[in-house]
Amino acid sequence: AKSAFPNVYLIVGVNSDELTHAMKGKTVMTDSERYEAVRHCRYVDEVVRDAPWVLDNAFLEEHKIDFVAHDEIPYTMGNEEDVYKLIKERGMFLATQRTDGISTSDLVARIVKDYDVYVRRNLARGYSARDMNVSFLNEKKFLLQNKMDELKDKSKQLVENFEGKRHEFIQKWEDRSREFICNFLELFGREGRLLRGKDDKSSGHGKDDRPSTLQ
Residue 111 confidence (pLDDT) above 50:
yes
Q: Rounded CA gap, 26 and 92, in Å?
A: 31
pTM of the model: 0.56
**Residue 190: what pLDDT?**
57
What's the CATH superfamily of 11-101? Answer: HUPs (3.40.50.620)
Q: Rounded CA gap, 167 and 161, in Å?
A: 10
Q: Rounded CA gap, 126 and 1, in Å?
A: 42
Residue 175 confidence (pLDDT) above 80:
no
Q: What type of residue is 163? A: E
Residue pair 144/136 in contact by the 8 Å Cβ criterion = no
Residue 10 confidence (pLDDT) above 50:
yes
* Residue 87: Cβ within 10 Å count: 19
Q: Rounded CA gap, 166 and 164, in Å?
A: 5
In this predicted model, which residue has the larger pLDDT, 156 or 193? 156
Domain limits of the chain? Answer: 11-101
Q: What type of residue is 58? A: A
| Tens digit of each residue's pLDDT (9 = 90 or more) over 25-81 | 888 899 999 999 999 999 999 999 999 999 999 999 999 999 999 988 888 877 778
The mean per-residue pLDDT over the stretch 140-147 comes to 80
Residue 100 confidence (pLDDT) above 70:
yes
pLDDT tier for residue 192 given thresholds of 50, 70 and 90: low
Residue 212 confidence (pLDDT) above 50:
no
**Residue 117: what pLDDT?**
85
Q: Give the residue among 88, 12, 93, 7 at the shortest CA–CA distance from 48.
A: 12
Q: Rounded CA gap, 27 and 17, in Å?
A: 8
Q: Give the residue among 82, 97, 86 at the shortest CA–CA distance from 1.
A: 97
